[in-house]
Structure 1
Amino acid sequence: MQTVRHSEHTLKTALISKNPELVKQYEQLDPREQRLLNEAFRPGSDLFGPITLHSPSDWIISHPEAPQDFEEFFSDLHRKSPSSGKQTIYIQCIGLLGNTRSISEEYLKWLKGYCEAFFYGLTVKLLEPIPVSATRCSFRVNDSTRNLQIHAGQILTFLKKKKPEDAFCVVGITMIDLYPRDSWNFVFGQASLTEGVGIFSFARYGADFHSSHFKGQVKQLERKSSSDYSVFDDYDLPEATSVLLLRSCKTLTHEIGHIFGLRHCQWLACLMQGSNHLEEADRRPLDLCPICLRKLQSAVGFRLRDRCKALVKWIDAESTDTPRVTPKHSREELVTLPKPVEAFKEWKEWITRCLAVLQK
């Protein structure tokens, strides 16, 4: 195990910059916001800690990248920020996210609410869910897992054509595994930052995906033509657990962060760290380190306290008021579908501690 630890001076420079204009910009922040952000370089901070590497297969070791500090982010002429006419994040669901339509609809609402809190101040809208056939994308059975996969790049092309005029970005989400090209085994997601579109799969976050008993496995792909998408009609979907929801929220906000121009974080433990495998992704925290948080705040313009309160509120809103059908019940029996937030408990406690700093 290895720890990536930077000096107090390095972290302070990465957060505040040596550029007089950016230093002045930082000094104009609310003193309580500065106090929270300064936890980045406070020795022994119990809110933000160094990155811990567990194996040579971890992202930072296997994918060396130049770190991006706040000044580099702010000065990037190619990055995109929401403008007055383009302040909406659109979410396009492809296929179902749950094993009934009602659960899928509820799951989408949970993700929408989470994005509204995470990117506080921006509008998040849901596009009408579509079947795989609507994208006209290629698909295959993975040689290793025997699971169905859809072509990520072709879905990006589809999303570009559907992008609304007021969109900052459009992100497609699906429970079906993705592949970017024939020679690749799989990809968690793919995005075009210049076009403001992305597609992300939560398929590999289900508890049984890698099990030999996974019901979604296909022994042989039989279809009459490349346009026969009937194989997706009975696609098996994972149970909407708290861990699955947490992983979905992580992936969605991490990838949208890239569309904002945030590169992989190499400063502190942070949502924007890269990950090569599920274990590494699970180790990432749910939120941003102060350096990446300042980047996002400068792009969106939210107050840190308002954002923290919105995140806590999302967790506390544990269920909807609308009766829904669960997979264990018949179509006629309606029950309240609670939002599974058990896995968010520790993160809520962390956000609450951040709020305490912001409210002193």
Structure 2
Amino acid sequence: MNQQIKSKPSTLTKYDSIKFLSKNDIKLNDPKAWEWRGQFQEEEQSFADFRSLNHKITDSLKVIYIYPIGDFDSLENQLIIATKDYLSRFYQRKIVINSSFSTKAIPEKGKRNHYGKDQILAPYILYEMLEQDNPPVSLLKLAVTNEDIYPKESWNYVFGLANYKKSVGVSSFHRFSDNNLKESNFSQTLSRLIKTSTHEINHMLKIQHCVKAVCLMNGANNLGELDGRPNRLCSECLAKLTWSLDIKLKNRKMLLNRYFLENKLLSDLKHTSQDLEILKEVN
């Protein structure tokens, strides 16, 4: 047992426990020029900075809504259901899958053909589709699509996009399986989609990109960077989420650990197992 943990006080707050989890944080390497942090210079958002935003969600009954956008086969529908399950464990909130939207109704202003690839304008999804819908007891709304998306004309594509002021976001799994989801790449696609979906939802909760440690909230320019970041929040970003939603820390880690085991996401399972070992010692 770690000596620091041996000498812990008899009563710990959840934030004391999170400090112990910093032992499992991994320091970021210096970025390469083509990586997200090499292209975008972002300031660190500390826990104190985040708390000053006063974005604490006190209503535990508020729901996260998922909006499927596109035409989905049975395997893609399984992917969305598995994502719903993950989000319920990650945020400890009720998740509702809303009625799906067909892309056929999207007008020309909301899409383009870019070098032979059809794409949907992500802001059109956010503001013309999601923002206009008002489901009951909504906390936030996330679209999930199998279509390729782009944020503006000068960009080739994005994996996801969110607006925290409007509490709307979108994630696309089009590039996660080269638009060819099958049993053999299902687990990899699922890992990428739950990373992107939680990353965008965290933005809706006003959690900025992490520049402090290897973290789910690191920015990503490509699949290599996306695959290189874990389905794990660093201790500081976890403190932000915990404060915002009043997360039950140990219970959440246990639920995530079981999910990774059930879905054979072994790399993610390793991270949660390491965190659980610490939480068992300090609680």
Q: TM-score range by the shorter chain?
A: 0.7 to 0.9
After TM superposition, the structure 1 = structure 2 runs for residues 1-360 of structure 1, keeping only pairs within 5 Å, are 30=12, 34-40=16-22, 45=23, 47-53=24-30, 55-77=32-54, 80-84=55-59, 87-97=62-72, 100=73, 102-120=74-92, 122-136=93-107, 138-143=110-115, 146-157=116-127, 158-206=129-177, 209=178, 237-239=180-182, 241-316=186-261, 318=262, 341-342=263-264, 344-360=265-281
Kept in 2, the 8 Å contact 1:265–1:272? The answer is yes
Distance 1:147 1:175 in 2: 13
Check 1:353–1:155 CA distance in 2 against 1; reply closer, same or farther (3 A cut). same
Distance 2:132 2:105 in 1: 12
Task: Name the amino acid aligned to 1:82.
Answer: I
Task: Render the CA deviation track for 1:6-49: whole Å, top value 9, x for unaligned.
Answer: xxxxxxxxxxxxxxxxxxxxx99835762442342xxxx4x211
Check 1:183–1:94 CA distance in 2 against 1; reply closer, same or farther (3 A cut). same
Structure 1 residue 103, shift from structure 2 partner: 2.0
Matched residue SS, 1:67: coil
Matched residue SS, 2:192: helix
Kept in 1, the 8 Å contact 2:250–2:276? The answer is yes
Check 1:180–1:28 CA distance in 2 against 1; reply closer, same or farther (3 A cut). farther
Task: Name the amino acid aligned to 2:36.
Answer: W
Which structure is larger by alpha-carbon Rg, 1 or 2? Answer: 1
For these two proteins, the number of residue pairs brought into alignment is 269
Structure 1 residue 353, shift from structure 2 partner: 2.1
When the two structures are superposed, what TM-score results if normalisation uses the length of structure 2?
A: 0.87
Matched residue SS, 2:33: coil
Distance 1:61 1:28 in 2: 44
Distance 2:250 2:65 in 1: 25
Kept in 1, the 8 Å contact 2:75–2:181? The answer is no
> Gapped runs of 5+ residues in structure 1?
1-26, 210-235, 319-340
Kept in 2, the 8 Å contact 1:96–1:104? The answer is no
Structure 1 residue 135, shift from structure 2 partner: 4.6
Check 1:85–1:166 CA distance in 2 against 1; reply closer, same or farther (3 A cut). farther
Kept in 2, the 8 Å contact 1:86–1:165? The answer is no
Identity of aligned residues (%): 28
Task: Render the CA deviation track for 1:81-129: whole Å, top value 9, x for unaligned.
Answer: 43428621111010145xx2x3232211100000011112x11111022
Distance 2:102 2:125 in 1: 12
Structure 1 residue 296, shift from structure 2 partner: 0.2
Give 2:4's aligned residue: none
> Gapped runs of 5+ residues in structure 2?
1-8
Distance 1:28 1:92 in 2: 45
Check 1:250–1:85 CA distance in 2 against 1; reply closer, same or farther (3 A cut). closer
Structure 1 residue 71, shift from structure 2 partner: 0.3
Check 1:28–1:86 CA distance in 2 against 1; reply closer, same or farther (3 A cut). farther
Distance 1:259 1:71 in 2: 18
Task: Name the amino acid aligned to 1:266.
Answer: V
Matched residue SS, 2:144: strand
Distance 1:33 1:51 in 2: 23
Distance 1:166 1:32 in 2: 27
Deviates more, 1:55-64 or 1:289-298: 55-64
Matched residue SS, 1:164: coil
Structure 1 residue 52, shift from structure 2 partner: 2.2
Task: Render the CA deviation track for 1:222-277: whole Å, top value 9, x for unaligned.
Answer: xxxxxxxxxxxxxx643252111100010000110101110010111110011112
Kept in 1, the 8 Å contact 2:123–2:151? The answer is yes
Check 1:31–1:152 CA distance in 2 against 1; reply closer, same or farther (3 A cut). closer
